[in-house]
Amino acid sequence: MILKVCGITNQEDADAAVEGGANAIGFNFYPRSSRYVEPERAASIATAAGVRRVGVFVNEPRERVEKLARQAALDVAQLHGVESDKDYPSGMAVWKSVNVTPDLDLSAFHGGAAEALLFDGPAGHLYGGAGKSFDWSKARGLAVRVILAGGLDATNVARAVELAHPWGVDACSRIESAPGKKDLRKMKEFLQAARAALLA
């Protein structure tokens, strides 16, 4: 079960996420993102034992992903570009992101070498999602571990879990007070609701 908070840029938010029950936190290494964090900054943000450190990358060369993974002590590479299995970094898990549009057939996707597929809402020209949800029922019953992302917060995560039966959930923009700064109350409420739904 994955409870992930993405877009972490500071120690206070990381601490609050872990205290609230997150077992994965995400650092965004896409320079055009409003939640971009310098690799050195991400490396300085400490996490508790057992919390998976996830790096978000967009069309980065495998070698650079591996370098940043070492630098920031990452456990997972979350890939949002056009990567295939041959582009995956070695020595770490990969979550391959798929932006779900209304006409996309999710049954055509298989995990391949990825540990999980992260299904995100439609993002247009934006990588890493745009805080928009999708028809969660489309992600149900797939022969792969599924992580749901895109527009999730405490008000809708239980419904998303009910419809999709995912391995995990991931929230970012709807639990923020500003890009890269979490609203601690919203984050805590999301994590509580998500945990209850995934364990139900």
Annotated catalytic residues are 6, 120
Enumerate the H helices of the chain as residue ranges.
11-19, 39-44, 62-71, 157-164, 184-199
Give the DSSP H/E element, type plus range, for residue 27.
strand 24-28
Distance of CA 191 to the CA centre of its chain: 14
Strands 168-171 and 146-148: parallel
Name the DSSP letter for residue 173. G
Q: How far is CA 161 from CA 10, 24, 29, 153, 170, in A?
A: 28, 17, 28, 12, 11
